[in-house]
Structure 1
Amino acid sequence: MKKAFSDEDLIKNLSLYYLNRHLKKKPIEKYHRKIDESSLHDREKYKKKSEILLLNSFMHHFPDVQFENFICESPDFIAKFNEKKIGIELTEVINHLEMKKDESNLNKIFRQAEILLEEEDTTKYRGVYFLEFNSTIKFDSLEDQQDIILSIYRSIKKNKPRGYVKSIRKSFHRRNVFITHEYNMNLFDELCSEKIVELIEKKNEKFPYYDTSVDECWLVIVSDMNSIASRYTFIQNKEHLKEVKSPFDKIFHLENLFGNITSIK
Structure 2
Amino acid sequence: MKKVFSDEDLIKNLSLYYLNRHLKKKPMEKYHRTIDESPLHDREKYKKKAEILLLNSFMHHFPEVKFEDLTCESPDFIAKFNDKKIGIELTEVINHLEMKKVESNLNKMFRQAEILLEQEDTTKYRGVYFLGFHPNIKFERLEEQEENILNIYKSIKKGKPFGCVKSVRKSFHRRNVFITHEYNMNLFDELCSEKILELIEKKNEKFPYYDTSVDECWLVIVSDMNSIASRYTFIQDKEHLNEVKSPFHKIFHLENLCGNITSIK
Q: Do they fold alike, i.e. is TM over 0.5?
A: yes
Residue 233 (str. 1) matches residue 233 (str. 2) = yes
Aligned to 2:105: 105
Quick one: distance in 2 between partners of 1:92 and 1:246? 18
Q: Distance in 2 between matches of 1:36 and 1:225?
A: 26
Deviation of 1:8 after TM superposition, in Å, equals 9.2
Letter in 2 for 1:262: T
Q: Secondary structure at the match of 1:252?
A: strand
- Cross-structure match for 1:63: 63
Q: Taking structure 2 as the reference length, what is the TM-score of the superposition?
A: 0.95
Give the corresponding residue for 2:93. Answer: 93
**What SS does structure 1 have at the residue aligned with 2:137?**
coil
Q: How does 1:198-237 map to 2 (within 5 A)?
A: 198-237=198-237
CA contact (8 A) 1:131 1:182 kept: yes
Write the letter of the residue equivalent to 1:118. Answer: E
What stretches of structure 2 of length at least 5 have no aligned partner? Answer: none
The alpha carbon displacement at 1:130 in A equals 0.5
Residues 9 and 104 in structure 1, CA contact (< 8 A), matched pair in contact too: no
Whether 1:196 aligns to 2:196 is yes
Counterpart CA distance in 2 for 1:197 and 1:12 is 33
Shift of 1:10: 5.5
Q: Is the 8 A contact 1:8 1:111 kept in 2?
A: no
| Gapped regions of structure 1 (runs ≥ 5) | none
CA contact 1:253–1:261 (8 Å) conserved in 2: yes
Call closer, same or farther: CA 1:77–1:206 in 2, change over 3 Å: same
Instruction: Confirm whether residue 252 of structure 1 aligns to residue 255 of structure 2.
Output: no
Identity of aligned residues (%): 87
Decide which moves more: 232-241 or 33-42: 33-42
* Cα RMSD, aligned residues only: 1.7
What is the 5 A alignment of 1:1-265? 13-265=13-265
Conserved? CA contact 1:224–1:255, under 8 Å: yes
Contact 1:102/1:140 (8 A) holds in 2:
no
Task: Give the superposition deviation at 1:13.
Answer: 3.9
**SS of match in other structure, 2:161:** coil
Mapped to 2, the partners of 1:193 and 1:10 lie a distance apart of 30
- Cα deviation, 1:24-57, whole Å, max 9, x if unaligned, reads 1111111111111111111211111111110001
Task: Tell me if the contact between 1:138 and 1:144 (Cα under 8 Å) persists in the aligned partners.
Answer: yes
- Deviating beyond 3 angstroms after TM superposition, the runs of 4 or more aligned structure 1 residues are 7-15
Tell me the number of residue pairs that the alignment of Structure 1 and Structure 2 aligns: 261
Question: TM-score of the superposition, structure 1-length normalised?
Answer: 0.95
Give CA deviations for 1:117-145 in whole Å, capped at 9, x if unaligned.
Answer: 00001111100111111111113332211
